[in-house]
Amino acid sequence: MKNLRLIRETVTPEKEYVMDYVHLICEAAGEMVFPLNDAAPLVAPGDEVLVGQSLAEGVCCSCSGTVKALERRSDGSKEVLCAVVDNDRKFRTAEGIGAKCDWRELSRSDILERIRLAGAVGTDPKRFPTAAKLTSLDPEDVSRVIVDGSEWEPYISSDGDILATRSHGVVNGLRVLLRLFPGAEGVILIGEDKPRAADYILDAIRDSGGISVAVTRAGMPLGSEKLIGRLLSGGDDAVCVTVTPAEANAVYEAAALSTPFYRRVVTVAGTAVKNPGNFMVRVGTSCEELLKAAGGVRPGVSVGKAVLGGALSGTSVSSLDVPVQKNTGALLLFAEETETPESECIRCGRCAKICPAGLMPMLLLKAAEKGDLKEFSKLRGGECVDCGACSWVCPSKRPLADRISYTRRLSV
Ligand code: SF4
Ligand code: SF4
C-alpha cells in the first residue's frame, strides 16, 4: 500500500481472520423485531408498513408487511418496547426512498435533518444517534473527522467488508461530514490486514483533497476517540469526530440517496459456526435466521457462548431470539470448552505492549487486588479505555481488564 501512514508501530498479537470481502445476503423470511429506543411509536398493530417507513423517530422498517404487535422484547441486553412486523417478503419500499439528491446543494441543517431521519447510529451499545453526536459539536472546534475501520478484534471483519464493498459510500459519507465541519481534515483508518479494502478506498478518494488513509497494526486496539486523535496528530488533544464505516456509509445514503439505515453487514463467526462469513442483513432480522444463513452450528459442537458484537467488546446473549440491530457488527458463537485456569503472572509484558493507553495493566491489577486506590491512580488507571486487549493477550489468563475497569469506576 503506497502513500499510507502507519500508526502505532508495536508488537502485534495473532488475529484470527474469517473471510474475504464478498458478503452473502441473508434475506429475512420470518417476523421482524424493531426496538424503538424509548421513542414513541408512530404505528399501531394492524398497520401496513413499507421498507423505509418510520416506526418511531430514528427507527425505520426494513421490510414490508403488517405491524403484528407493540410489545416488550429482548434487544440482547434488556427488555424494551419493540414493533413486531409480520414480514410479507415483498420488500416494497416507501415513496421517496432511494431518491437521488445532490448533497453539495444541501445546507448544514438539511444534511443533519436527513441523517436524523435516516436513524444513523454508531457502535455505541445504546445506539446513540449520529445526528445528535454531530449536532453537539461546534463546527469551528473540530479539526479531524475519522472513519475508524481499524477493526482490531479477532473474528470480526464487517467493517473491512463495508470499506471494500461500499468504498464509494464510505468516502462520500466522509465528504458529507467534512461539509458539516469545513475546517477539519478527513482520515480513514484501515487495519494493515485489509490491503484490498485500502485499495478500494484509495481508488475512491482519488483526486479529492482533504482526505487521507492511515494504516493501523492488525490486532492492535487504538483506544478512545481522544487517543486516536492524539496518535494521528502526534500528541495534541484536537477535537475529533469518529464514525464507523457503516455509519459513514449511512450518512452518504441518507444525504445522497434519501435512504434510511435499514440494513448492514454482519460477521457471523466463531469456533462453533459451520460456515463463517459476512452477511448483508436487514435490521430487525432474528439472529437465529442469520445463524441459519451461515449453516448453523458445526455438527457435534455445543455452543458455550454467543456474543453480539466483538469478542471483547460485545454483549453475551443467552438466546438468539434477538434482532440484528444497526450497531450489530458481528454475531459470534463459541464452542463449549474447558476454561484454562488463571495462573501467576510470568512478566512477559504483553499486556503493557498492547495497551492503547500506554498503561501497565499487570501493575494496575496488583494495585486493584490490594485495593490500593492511591497507587492505582498514580499508575493512571483512570485512563483505561476498557478495550479488553490486556486480558485477551495474557498467557496466564489474569483477569486484568475486568478488575481494572471495576477499580477505575470505584476510583472516580
Ligand atoms: S488497561 Fe487493558 S483494558 Fe485498559 S486500556 Fe489498557 S489494554 Fe485496554
Ligand atoms: S500479559 Fe499476563 S503474564 Fe504477561 S505481564 Fe501481563 S499480566 Fe503478566
Confidence check: pLDDT of 14 > 50:
no
Reference 81, options 65, 95, 70, 96; nearest CA is 70
In this structure, the residue with its CA closest to atom 3 of ligand 2 is 345
Contact 146, 243 (CB under 8 A): yes
Backbone angles phi, psi at 307, to 5 degrees: -130, 135
Ligand 1: distance of its center to the CA of 226 in Å? 15
Ligand 1: distance of its center to the CA of 387 in Å? 5
Mutate to test the pocket of ligand 2, among 351, 354, 400 (most ligand atoms within 8 A of CB): 351
Q: What is the DSSP string of 328-383?
A: --EEEEEE--PPPPP-------HHHHH-TT---HHHHHHHHHHT-HHHHHHTTGGG
Q: Which cell numbers in the block locate residue 142?
A: 473540530
Please tell me if the CB atom of residue 346 comes closer than 6 angstroms to any atom of ligand 2.
yes
pLDDT the model gives residue 77: 85
End-to-end CA distance of the chain: 43
Question: Model confidence over 279-295: pLDDT tens digits?
Answer: 999 999 999 999 999 99
Please tell me if the CB atom of residue 383 comes closer than 6 angstroms to any atom of ligand 1.
no
Question: Model confidence over 29-44: pLDDT tens digits?
Answer: 889 999 998 899 999 9
Please tell me if the CB atom of residue 394 comes closer than 6 angstroms to any atom of ligand 1.
no
Q: Which cell numbers in the block locate residue 42?
A: 408512530
Q: Which cell numbers in the block locate residue 408?
A: 477505575
393 CA closest ligand 2 atom index: 1
Reference 194, options 224, 170, 165; nearest CA is 165
Ligand 1: distance of its center to the CA of 362 in Å? 10
Indicate the range of 203-212, 240-249, 342-351 predicted with least confidence: 203-212
Summary mean pLDDT of the chain: 88
pLDDT the model gives residue 225: 75
Per-residue pLDDT band at 4 (split at 50, 70, 90): very low
In this structure, the residue with its CA closest to atom 7 of ligand 1 is 355
pTM of the model: 0.86
Per-residue pLDDT band at 18 (split at 50, 70, 90): very low
Alpha-carbon distance 24 to 362, whole Å?
42
Q: Which CATH architecture has domain 5-20+98-257?
A: 3-Layer(aba) Sandwich (3.40)
Residues of the chain with CATH 3.40.50.11540: 5-20+98-257
Q: What percent of the chain has pLDDT over 90?
A: 66
357 CA closest ligand 1 atom index: 5
The partner residues of 129 in beta bridges, in order of sequence, read 121
